[in-house]
Copies of this chain bind each other. A is one copy, B any other.
Amino acid sequence: MTEPRRRGEPVRIVDVAALAGVSPSTVSKALNNNGMLRDSTRERVREAAEKLGFVPHAGARSLHTGRTYTVGLLSTDNAGRFSLPVVLGAENALLAGQISALLATARHDPVREQHHIRSLVSRRVDGIIVTGRTTEPREPVAAPGPVVYAFAPSTDPQDASVVPDDADGMHQVVEHLRSLGHRRLAFVGGRGDHRASHVRHEAAAAAAEARAMTLAGEPRFGEWSERWGRHAVDMLVGDGLLGPDAADPVDGIVFASDQLARGGADRLRERGLRVPEDVAVTGYDDWQVMSLASRPPLTTVDMRLETLGQRAAELLLAALAGEPFHGTELIRPRLVARDSTLGTS
C-alpha cells in the first residue's frame, strides 16, 4: 500500500484493468458484483485491485442518489470538553452509515459560524449536526437540508434537538443519597446565568421534597471552578450548615459539576471534615480527570454524551430517509457511584 502514496496519485480503474488484462467496464462489474462474468475473471480483477490498493470513487454513489454522503459537524466549542464526545459519538454513527463528517468549529464567533455554514452548504452536505459547549438554547442554523442540535438545543421547538436529561440526573443523585440514609442536603451550583445551574437546582429541590428530605439554606451560584467549590464550603461553614459548630449540619452536598465537587472535597478535607463519613459529596459530568482524581473519587452523573451524539446522528439519518423528528429528545444520564458517597469499604 505504500507505493501509491509515494506516487502521489490515486490508482485508477484503468490501472486495475491493465493489470488484470480486462476492460475497465469488466473491472467495474467485477468489483460491484454485477454483470455476467466468470468467477476466475472476478477473482483476477479483485487480486489486481488488492495488489494496487485500488479504492473505488465514493462519487459514484452520489451520482446514483444525488446525495454527497457528507454531514457537517458544526461545533462552537473550542475546548471540546463537552462537544468532543458528542462529535465522536455522531461520527461513529455516521461512519456506520458510510457517511463522512465535515468538521467546522466556530468558536463562539457568529461570523465564523456563518462562514462555516456557507462552506458546508456549498459542499452540498446532506445535513448538519450542531453541537454547543453548554446546554443553553441557541439560534437555529439556516441551511438547506435537515439540521439536528446536540447538547445545545435549538430555540425553535420545531427543530430536532437532543439534550441530556439533567432533571433525571439530579433525581438519581438525590435518590442515591436518600438510599444511603442522607436526609439534609446543601446545593452548590455554577454560574448563576447558566441554565444547567438552575435546572439542576430545581430538580434537586423537587427530588428532595418528594422524598421528605431537606435542601438546607439558599442555593449558591458562582462559577464553574474548583475555587468556587472550595469557597462554597467555607460559606456553608460560615452559615452554620457544616462543621463542629453547626447546630443542624447537612449530611450531603450536591455540587452541579465535578470541578465544583472536587474543590469542595479538597476544602472539606482541609477543614478536617471526612467525606463521606461527616458529609457526602456528589458531582456532575463524570469528567474523569476531575471525578477520578478527586480525593475521594466522586459519585457523579455521566451524561452519556457519546450516546447523545450517536442519537443526533440517527435522527439526522432518519430525516435524510424522509422521517424527520420534530422536538427535543432527552438522553437519560447514568449515576456513577464512588467513594465520595459510598466510602471506602
Q: Which residues of A contact B (CB under 8 A)?
A: 1-2, 4-5, 7-11, 53, 55-59, 70, 73, 78, 80, 84, 87-88, 91, 95, 98, 100-105, 107, 115-116, 118-124, 140-147, 225-227, 259, 263, 289-290, 293
Contact = CB atoms under 8 A, between A and B. Distances in A.
B58 A122 contact: yes
A2 B143 CA distance: 7
A257 B95 CA distance: 34
A58 B143 contact: no
Given A10-B124, A121-B55, A4 B144 contact: yes
Contacts of A10: 121, 124, 144-145
A102 B100 contact: yes
A101 B103 contact: yes
Contact of A80 (B84, B107, B144, B227): B84
Given A84-B84, A142-B5, A100 B123 contact: yes
Contacts of A293: 225-227, 259, 263
A226 B8 CA distance: 45
A10 B67 CA distance: 12
A98 B87 CA distance: 22
Nearest to A114: B1
Given A5-B147, A59-B124, A142 B103 contact: no
Given A102-B102, A103-B73, A103-B101, A8 B55 contact: no
Nearest to A226: B293
B103 A2 contact: no
Contacts of A120: 100
A124 B4 contact: no
A102 to B, nearest CB: 5
A91 B115 CA distance: 13
17 contacts: A5-B141, A5-B143, A8-B145, A8-B146, A55-B122, A57-B124, A58-B119, A70-B102, A73-B103, A91-B104, A95-B115, A100-B102, A100-B104, A100-B123, A101-B102, A101-B103, A227-B293
A275 to B, nearest CB: 16
A80 B87 CA distance: 11
Closest 7 CB pairs of A and B: A1-B142, A58-B122, A10-B144, A103-B103, A80-B84, A55-B121, A101-B103
Contacts of A1: 142
Given A57-B122, A84-B84, A124-B10, A142 B100 contact: no
Contacts of A9: 144-145
Contacts of A100: 102-104, 119-120, 123
Given A10-B145, A119-B58, A140 B102 contact: no
Q: Which of A8, A103, A140, A263 has the most CB of B within 10 A?
A: A103
Contact of A118 (B4, B55, B118, B147): B55
